[in-house]
Structure 1
C-alpha cells in the first residue's frame, strides 16, 4: 500500500513537472508558426566550398549555420539552384549574408487560375460584369493568319450552344484537314494560296499542309489568345502553369489561312478578307504587317473599309519596328491599331559572374543545366572575324575562341534562339543575349535550345566591361521558373511600333496597347516552340511576344463589348475601348516605356492600355459612319478613282464643302503645327479648331470637360464646357480650340481631354507635333 502511494506521488510529481513543459512547447510551436515565413533560397553553386562533395550537403550546412532548427522543404536542381525553408526574420538575414547565397525570396500565394492576361486585365475578378456566355457565343471572330491546329483542347466546344444562325461559312478540307475538324468552337476554316503559288510555285505538301492546318504556330497562338476555350494544366515546360483561356472564351472562331512559310501575299489576304466578310464574322483579327502606302494602295486598309461598312471591327497589329518613331503600319482610321505592353509575369534567369555580381534576365530554357562550376566567358565580337560577329550570325564564330565557353551575343540581326544554335555549333555551351540600345531594358523570354538568358542594356554593358577588364572572365546561368506580380506593369514593349503616324500625322496611332510580351497560348503540333528546323520538341502551348499577340487580345476584348452591345458600330466599340484605357499606374505615375525607362507618351501607347471591364460601360462614345470616313478621304484630296479604290463604291466630294482631316470624329486628337523658324523670340502663335460629336450610350447625365496639359506653351479651350444627355443614343457636339507657341521642328507635347459625369471618364489623348 505504501509502495502504491509512493508511485502515485512520484507520477503526480513527474506530471506536474512535465505539464508546464507541454504548455511551453505548444506555446513555442505556436510562436514559431507565427514568426517563421517560407523563403525560396537561391544559391550560387559555383561558391560551394571544395570540402563539400554534394551541393545538397552544402545547402544543408548553410541552413544549419543560420537556423539550427529550420527544416528544408524542397531542394531545387534545375528551375533554380537552392532550396525552400521556413525562417524567422533574423534567420533569414543571417542566411542571406552567407557566402554563396544569391537571394531569399518570400513565398507568395499563387492560385492556378489563368495564363495571366485575363486576370491581369481584370476579367477573372469581374466575370460577373461580363456578357453572358450565350451572348458571347453569338460573336464570331475571324482570324487571317497561318491556320489552326484543331486537335488542341483550346478548341473544345463542350458547353457551347449550336452555331449562330447568322454564320454562312464552312470547314474546307485539304491536306491533313477534314471538315470534321470543325465544331461549335472552331466553326469555320479555309485556306488561300493561289497568289502564293503563282509567285513561288506549288506548295510542297511534304513540308506544308495545303489546307487550313497550321504548320507554323502563329495562327493557332493568335486564335486561342482571342477566343480559346478554358484549358487546365496549360504551361510551356512548366513555365506559366495555369488554366489557359482566350479573352472571349465563349466566342466562335473562324480561321482563314492566307499566310504560308514563304509569306503572306496580298491577293490571298484580300480573298480571305472577302470570304470572312461574306461569311459574316463580327470581329476580324489580323496580326499581319500592313503597308504604309496610301490607303487606296493598302490591301488591308481596303479590305478593312469594306468590313467596317458591314459592321465588322478590324483589329490589326501595329508592328514590331519599335522603338523607332514613325514605325507603325496598319494606319487607316477605320482599323483598330494595337501596340504591345507587358503583363505582371516574368520568367527570371540569373547570370552570375566570377567576381560575384549577379544579373537578372529572362529565359524559358528547360533542358540540362550548366555544370555547377563557373565557366569561361567571352564576347562574340571578340570571337569573330566578321564585322557583324557580335550578333552571332550563322558561321560568324571561331570555334577555338568559344569552345566550352558562355558566349555573349548582341540582340538583333537574326532570331534570338538562332544565335544560341550558332554558339552551340561553334562549341559554346551557353549564351547571354545582350540587349543593345534599341531594346533598352526589355526582357523577352525564349525557349532556348542551350542554357541562355536575355539581359537588359545596363547589365549587358556591365558584363562586356567585365570581359574586357583583363581578368579571366567566368560566369554561369541559372533559371528560376515563373514569377507573378512583377511591377511596374504594364510597360510599353520596346519592339512595339511607335507614332507619329507616318502617313497621316493628323490621326494618332497606335490606337491603344494590349498585352503582347511573353504570352502563353496554343501551338501547332508540327514544329517546336522556336519554329527552328533543329527544334524537335513538341508542345501544346507556347510563349511568344509581339504586337501579333496584342492584336488578338484586343480582338477578343472587342468581342466581349460586341456581345454586350450587339447594336454598336465598329467605331463605337473602338471608342469604348480607347476612351476607357488607362495611361497611369495606381500611384498616378505614367506608364513606363521600357526602351528608355522614361514615361511613355501617346505616340507609344495611343489612348492607353486597354481596360475591358471599363469598356463595357463607357458612358459616351465617338461614333463614326461610312460618310465620316469618306469625308476623311476627301480631306486627303483623294480623287474619285482613289476613293473608289479605297471604298469599293462610288463616292464624290462636294466642291462647296471644306474638308478637314481633324474633323473626323475620332476618339483621339493629333495636332500638327508649323514651326516658325525666323524670329523665334516672338514665338508666333498657331490656333486650330476641331469639332467632335459624342453619343450617349449610358444613363441620362451631365458631363463636364477638363483638360490636362504638359506644357505652358499650349492652351486648349473646350466649348461648351458641359454637355447634358437625357436619352440613350442622344448626340451632342463640341469644339476644341488649340493655341500653341511656335516650337522647334520635331518637338512634341501632349495633353488629355476628359469628359466626366462622376461615374464615367471619357478620355482622349491630344498629341502636338511641330513640323
Structure 2
C-alpha cells in the first residue's frame, strides 16, 4: 500500500538512508554513534552465521555496547534481533535485507531505536562502513508518509503459485493490503508479541495473510450487503475480475526486488472494492459445476457422496478440470505440437440491460488464443452466456514446461462507466500430460 513509516539512518558522511520502523524513540540528532556489523560484535562462542543474523546470545557485550549494530534479515524474528542487540548493550539496530527480500521494508515496534533498510541500501551501507575506520550515524524518529511509490508491490513473504495440487486452478486468487497494517491489538502482550516485551498498546503494525484476509472479508461483506442475491462464487468473481495489475507509477506490479511480478505472485491482481461493486459480468458456479470438477479430478461418486448432498453420480463424459467456471483460466498441459486445447466459461450479466461485451486478449508468449463468440449480447440482467477459449502453441516460441501469462478482457465500451471484466490467463506448454 502507498503508506510508509520512514525512519532514517543518518551517516557520518551526512548521507541519509531511508528505512522503516515504529520504534518509539530515536537516537539524538546531535550525537553520532559508532556503527558496526553484527559479525564485528560476534561473541566468542557464536558462529559467524549466528552473529550475522543477531541470534540470541550471539553478540559480545563489550563489542556491542554503545553502538548501532547492523544485522541481516532472516531466520529469527526481526524484533528478536533488536532484543539481542539491546541485551548486548547496543543503542540501535539497522536491519538490512538480504537479496531475496530485496526492497521489502516492514515497520516493527522494536525495543530500541531501529530502522529496516533495503538490500541495495544495505550494500551501500556496507561500502561506507568499509571505507572508514570510524563509521558512525544516528537513527531518526519514524513518521508517516502517504502516497509513496511504487505501490502496491508484492511482499517477499507472500505465498506464490503454481498450484501444485490442482494446477488447473490459478492460485493465489488475488492480493490485498497486508504489510505494515495498523490493527487493533491485544492488551495481553507487547507489540512485538514476545515474552520480553512489557509494553502495552491499543494498536500495532501487523503484516501477513492475517491482515490481507480481513480486507477481503470486509469487501465480501460489503458486496453481499449491496447484492444480497449474489452467491459466494459471484462475489469472488466480482473481486477477481475488477482488480488492478499496475502500480501507482502505471507500471506492472513488481515483486520485492522490483522485478516484474506474475499472476503466480498476485493472482488476478490487487483488490479494488469500488469497482467490485459493479463488475458488469460474473462467473458463477453451482453444485453441478463442482461435481464435474471433482469427477474430472478422478473422484468417484462414493467419495463425493461423503461430503456432497444430492445427485453425485459422475457423468459418462465429465468436463475437464480447467472447465470449472472460474474467473481465471489456467491450461497447465498444452501440447507443444500445436494440438488445440479448448476450455469453456459462462458469465452472467449483473449490470445494465441490454448490454454487449467484446473480448480482447493479450496472448501468452508463444501461444495463440481465440475466443468464440468474441461478442456477447445480453437482453436482460441475469441472462447467462457461454463462450469457448481455444489455445494453440506456436512452434519454437516457448521453452518446454515454461509457464507463460496473458489476459482476457470483456468490455462493454468506452467511457467512465464502462466495465472491464479481466481474467488472467496462464498456460504451460510442452508438459507431458495432454488430457
User: What TM-score, normalized to structure 1?
Assistant: 0.52
Deviation, structure 1 residue 403: 1.6
Indicate the residue corresponding to 1:658 in structure 2: 318
Aligned partners of 2:150 and 2:248 also within 8 Å: no
Compared CA separation, residues 540 and 656, structure 1 to 2 (3 A): same
Aligned partners of 1:643 and 1:651 also within 8 Å: no
Indicate the residue corresponding to 1:394 in structure 2: 56
- Structure 2 spans left out of the alignment, 5+ residues: none
Distance 2:243 2:252 in 1: 13
Deviations 1:380-412 (A, max 9, x none): 133323133211111111222212111111111
Residue 476 of structure 1, aligned match among 138, 151, 170 = 138
Indicate the residue corresponding to 2:351 in structure 1: 698
Deviations 1:307-338 (A, max 9, x none): xxxxxxxxxxxxxxxxxxxxxxxxxxxxxxxx
Aligned partners of 2:301 and 2:314 also within 8 Å: no
The 5 A counterparts of 1:454-465 are 454-465=116-127
Deviations 1:529-583 (A, max 9, x none): 1112222222211111112101010000110100011111100000011111111
The 5 A counterparts of 1:639-650 are 639-645=300-306, 647-649=307-309
Indicate the residue corresponding to 1:668 in structure 2: 328
Deviation, structure 1 residue 465: 2.9
Going by fraction, where is helix more abundant, 1 or 2? 1
Aligned partners of 2:283 and 2:346 also within 8 Å: yes
Distance 1:675 1:757 in 2: 33
Distance 1:371 1:466 in 2: 19
Deviation, structure 1 residue 487: 1.8
Deviation, structure 1 residue 769: 2.6
Aligned partners of 1:694 and 1:732 also within 8 Å: yes
Q: Secondary structure in 1 aligned to 2:240?
A: helix
Residue 431 of structure 1, aligned match among 93, 118, 140 = 93
Indicate the residue corresponding to 1:198 in structure 2: none
Indicate the residue corresponding to 2:30 in structure 1: 372
Indicate the residue corresponding to 2:295 in structure 1: 634
Q: Secondary structure in 1 aligned to 2:304?
A: helix
Deviation, structure 1 residue 464: 2.2
Aligned partners of 2:291 and 2:314 also within 8 Å: no
Deviation, structure 1 residue 498: 1.1
User: What TM-score, normalized to structure 2?
Assistant: 0.91
Distance 2:313 2:38 in 1: 60
Q: Confirm or deny that 1:756 pairs with 2:415.
A: no
Q: Secondary structure in 1 aligned to 2:179?
A: coil
Distance 1:405 1:349 in 2: 18
Indicate the residue corresponding to 1:738 in structure 2: 391
Q: Secondary structure in 1 aligned to 2:79?
A: helix
Distance 2:305 2:97 in 1: 46
Deviation, structure 1 residue 459: 0.5
Compared CA separation, residues 378 and 692, structure 1 to 2 (3 A): same
Q: Secondary structure in 2 aligned to 1:388?
A: helix
Indicate the residue corresponding to 1:538 in structure 2: 200
Aligned partners of 1:370 and 1:451 also within 8 Å: no
Q: Secondary structure in 2 aligned to 1:515?
A: coil
Distance 2:401 2:210 in 1: 30
Distance 1:546 1:686 in 2: 42
Count of residue pairs the alignment pairs up = 419
- Structure 1 spans left out of the alignment, 5+ residues: 1-342, 677-683
Compared CA separation, residues 692 and 674, structure 1 to 2 (3 A): closer
Q: Secondary structure in 2 aligned to 1:396?
A: coil
Deviations 1:39-73 (A, max 9, x none): xxxxxxxxxxxxxxxxxxxxxxxxxxxxxxxxxxx
Distance 1:725 1:655 in 2: 30
Q: Which sits farther off after the overlay, 605-614 or 472-481?
A: 472-481
Distance 1:354 1:584 in 2: 38
Q: Which sits farther off after the overlay, 567-576 or 372-381?
A: 372-381
Distance 1:727 1:408 in 2: 64
Residue 413 of structure 1, aligned match among 45, 64, 75 = 75
Query: Which of these two proteins has the greater Rg computed from alpha carbons?
Result: 1
Q: Secondary structure in 2 aligned to 1:638?
A: coil
Deviation, structure 1 residue 654: 2.5
Compared CA separation, residues 475 and 769, structure 1 to 2 (3 A): farther
Q: Secondary structure in 1 aligned to 2:426?
A: strand
Distance 1:412 1:473 in 2: 24
Q: Secondary structure in 2 aligned to 1:723?
A: strand
Deviation, structure 1 residue 473: 1.9
